[in-house]
Amino acid sequence: MSGLMHELGAKALKLGIPLSVQLDLTYRCNERCVHCYLDHDDHGEMTTPEIKDLLDQLAAAGVLFLILSGGEIFLRRDLFEIVEYARKLMFSVKLKTNAVMIRKAKAKRIADLGVASVQISLYSHRAEVHDAITKLPGSFAHTIKGARLLRANGVRVIFANVLMKHNVDDYAEVQALAAGLGVEYSVDPTITPMLDGDRSILGLNIAPEELEQVFRDSTLVGNAEEFCAPPSGPLAEADALDSLPCSAGHTACYVSPYGDLYPCVQFPLPSGNVRNTRFLEIWQNSAALKEVRAITMAELQGCSSCVHGGSCSRCPGLAYTEGNMRGPSTQDCEKSLARTGVPSPNLLQKGPATKPEPAAGAGSQRSLSGNHAVIWMAAQR
Amino acid sequence: MSTQRYVARAANVAARMIGGEMMIMSGSDSSLYSLNETASILWQAADGVTPLAQIVEQHICADYAVDAATALRDAEELAEELARQGILVLSDAPLPDSRPPAKASA
């Protein structure tokens, strides 16, 4: 991160400005990925005028980074009208798509509109593996063609490679494929619960020993020795009092196709709905967001004294879907264990080889993570 | 005889006024720029059709104690620098630019 970007983030935090918003335009999709968290029916998406009005509000609130995602965004017939409007409001626009529907004209239009980047989900370099995950025959060929067309038009493209049991052995070849196409590469080894609270897809997560292997691959993590270094101990008390768990709800938030606002796509804490309340009113006055903002590292139960405190990637959204946003995120505890070989107090309490269990009361909560889980490693073009 | 010059915001940039500071992100390499007060004024007035001299006269000289010739010379240097960075377009002829001013309330 550049110095100026860091300064911008700090300034936004101090002033309470939502620097970055992810807006899902639809949950409908032309693929049926085995690990997806979504219900693909349309339950009443925001209309074009509603979205344009929301974009006006976001610009006025100071949002600079706008991520348009789904579902598959190209299933919205008004997608380009929305992107064009967003660009006129001078957002930095990032698109997330499977690229299956991108043809020559669309690729050129994306380039002409000055879209900052397009993130494309790609699961394997092998068509049969990719198509088996998406359950859409021919999707691999279309996705690669879409990526090529975008690159031919000078668009920055990033492959998002979610790892699961089906494709864990393929990531090196996907990296090579990305490099050959002039595409950046990012990998995400986390499968998270479904929208309706169903945690059965967690069984798709890669095995602990495979996660260890991923964490020791310097092509993914940079300096593997440093990345997997023994835990540095809990945060110092003064740091813990000042430190915030992450940007969710502080300088970033998420809006669903139905106008529901959450701290993050991975943090489905209902915070308001932009269809009946102005965005800024929710952002500034929502009791839920105020509660999120009140949490510091010092008061995280089981985390503030954990030996991984200084290096843990704890996701408050995953902790929330486990039942306590002030508690640990077991999946992140497992990552820390895979990195360092040292179990967290949370894992020790759960016992050996314990997998996260559905938390009481979490079944009816919305989990919006799945294939939008944190992309935690990104290689430069 | 001096030629009229025109300035327009580059088509592929992102921009937002944040805490009184205009932040510009280059579309070509995602570099981030922070403009000072007078550069922000120039940026916001760069509609592609108003001559730079007129922008300076209306938005700079009117509010700052500086003579028109000096202000115009400084503005041209600034515009040339922003053009080199790819976030502004500088031309001897009017430039069509339909973008509305960047929202600036944050």
State pLDDT tens for residues B9-47: 998 999 999 988 999 999 888 899 999 888 999 999 999
Q: Do B106 and A114 touch (CB under 8 A)?
A: no
Considering the domain boundaries, does residue B15 fall inside one?
yes
Least confidently predicted of A46-55, A218-227, A366-375, B45-54: A366-375
pLDDT of residue B1: 44
pLDDT of residue B99: 52
What's the mean pLDDT when you consider all of chain A? 87
Residue A381: pLDDT band with limits 50, 70, 90: very low
Q: How far is CA B76 from CA A156, B37, B66, in A?
A: 32, 16, 15
Q: Do A61 and B106 touch (CB under 8 A)?
A: yes
Contacts of B100 in chain A (CB under 8 A): 88-89
pLDDT by residue (tens digit) across A124-166?
Answer: 999 999 999 999 999 999 999 999 999 999 999 999 999 999 9
Share of chain A above pLDDT 90, in %: 63
Q: Which of B11, B30, B106 sits opposite A116 (nearest CB)?
A: B30
Q: Do B14 and A59 touch (CB under 8 A)?
A: no
Q: Do B30 and A12 touch (CB under 8 A)?
A: no
Considering the domain boundaries, does residue B98 fall inside one?
no
Q: Do A59 and B27 touch (CB under 8 A)?
A: no
Considering the domain boundaries, does residue B96 fall inside one?
no
Contacts of A62 in chain B (CB under 8 A): 16-18, 105-106
**pLDDT at A26 > cutoff 90:** yes
Please tell me the distance in Å from A204's CA to the nearest CA on chain B: 35
pLDDT of residue A1: 63
Structural domain harbouring B57: 8-85
Residue of chain B whose alpha carbon sits nearest to that of A55 = B103
Considering the domain boundaries, does residue B93 fall inside one?
no
Q: Do A116 and B25 touch (CB under 8 A)?
A: yes
Contacts of A5 in chain B (CB under 8 A): 32
Please tell me the distance in Å from A173's CA to the nearest CA on chain B: 27
Model ipTM value: 0.86
Please tell me the distance in Å from A61's CA to the nearest CA on chain B: 5
pLDDT of residue A22: 98
Q: Which of A59, A60, A114 sits opposite B27 (nearest CB)?
A: A114
Contacts of A184 in chain B (CB under 8 A): none
CATH code of residue B38:
1.10.10
Closest CA to A284 of A53, A124, A62: A62
Residue A172: pLDDT band with limits 50, 70, 90: very high
**pLDDT at A89 > cutoff 80:** yes
Considering the domain boundaries, does residue B16 fall inside one?
yes
Considering the domain boundaries, does residue B39 fall inside one?
yes
Least confidently predicted of A12-16, A76-80, A121-125, A128-132: A12-16
B87 touching chain A per CB within 8 A: no
pLDDT by residue (tens digit) across A292-346?
Answer: 998 887 778 788 888 888 788 888 888 898 888 888 888 889 999 999 999 998 8
**pLDDT at B77 > cutoff 90:** yes
Supply the pTM of this predicted model. 0.88
Q: Do A91 and B27 touch (CB under 8 A)?
A: no
Contacts of B14 in chain A (CB under 8 A): 64-65, 90-93, 114, 116
Q: Report the helix count and the strand count for chain A, using DSSP H and E.
A: 16, 10
Please tell me the distance in Å from A93's CA to the nearest CA on chain B: 8
What's the mean pLDDT when you consider all of chain B? 86
Other CB atoms within a 10 A radius of the CB of residue A149 amount to: 21
Contacts of A61 in chain B (CB under 8 A): 105-106
Taking the CA atoms of A87, A273, A279 and A328 in sequence, report the sign of the dihedral they define.
Answer: negative
pLDDT of residue B89: 93
Residue A243: pLDDT band with limits 50, 70, 90: low
3-class DSSP assignment, residue A235 = coil
Residues with Cβ within 8 Å of residue B16, at least 6 apart in sequence = A59, A62, A63, A64, A90, A91, B22, B23, B102, B103, B104, B106
Residue of chain B whose alpha carbon sits nearest to that of A91 = B14
Contacts of B103 in chain A (CB under 8 A): 56, 59-60, 89-90
Residue A244: pLDDT band with limits 50, 70, 90: low
pLDDT of residue A129: 98
Q: Do A11 and B18 touch (CB under 8 A)?
A: yes
pLDDT of residue B25: 94
Query: Is it true that the peptide bond before B48 is cis, omega within 30 degrees of 0?
Result: no
Say if residues B89 and B83 touch (Cβ distance below 8 Å): yes
Closest CA to A29 of A17, A21, A41, A19: A41
Considering the domain boundaries, does residue B56 fall inside one?
yes
Structural domains counted in chain B: 1
Rounded Cα distance between A91 and B78, Å, is: 24
Chain A contact probe: residue of B18, B30, B97 with most A CBs at under 10 A: B18
Q: Which of B13, B18, B31 sits opposite A62 (nearest CB)?
A: B18
Q: Do B105 and A90 touch (CB under 8 A)?
A: no
Q: Do A11 and B15 touch (CB under 8 A)?
A: no
